[in-house]
């Protein structure tokens, strides 16, 4: 399957369930990485999987902000 064909299949399926935003293979790649990270997958594994040069690039790519990382420390109770 070519990229254009995948794009059409994904968008046709999203339209069928009421999603009007454009969704491509890159959207799916980012969404997969975000949910894998939120489910506990180590960021360095995702970095390698996505072929990024550093964990910080991967975090920025999936939309994890420094504030979210800081909240981990702030919410930790001893």
Distance (Å, rounded) from C-alpha 16 to C-alpha 29? 21
**Torsion sign over Cα 5, 6, 7, 9:** positive
Mean pLDDT over 33-49 rounds to 95
**The two structure tokens encoding residue 75:** 């919410």
Distance (Å, rounded) from C-alpha 66 to C-alpha 5? 37
| Per-residue pLDDT at 62 | 93
* Nearest C-alpha neighbor of 37 from the set 21, 52, 19: 52
Number of domains in the chain: 1
- pLDDT tens by residue, 43-78: 999 999 999 999 999 999 999 888 888 887 888 777
- pLDDT tens by residue, 2-29: 888 988 999 999 999 999 988 888 888 9
Distance (Å, rounded) from C-alpha 6 to C-alpha 45? 26
| Per-residue pLDDT at 70 | 81
Range of the domain at 25: 3-75
């Amino acid at each position: 399957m070519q990229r254009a064909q995948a794009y059409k299949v994904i968008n046709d399926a999203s339209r069928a369930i009421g999603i009007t935003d454009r969704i491509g293979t890159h959207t799916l790649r980012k969404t997969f990485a975000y949910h894998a990270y939120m489910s506990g997958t180590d960021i360095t594994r995702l970095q390698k999987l996505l072929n990024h040069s550093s964990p910080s690039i991967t975090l920025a790519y999936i939309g994890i902000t420094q504030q979210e990382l800081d909240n981990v420390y702030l919410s930790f109770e001893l």
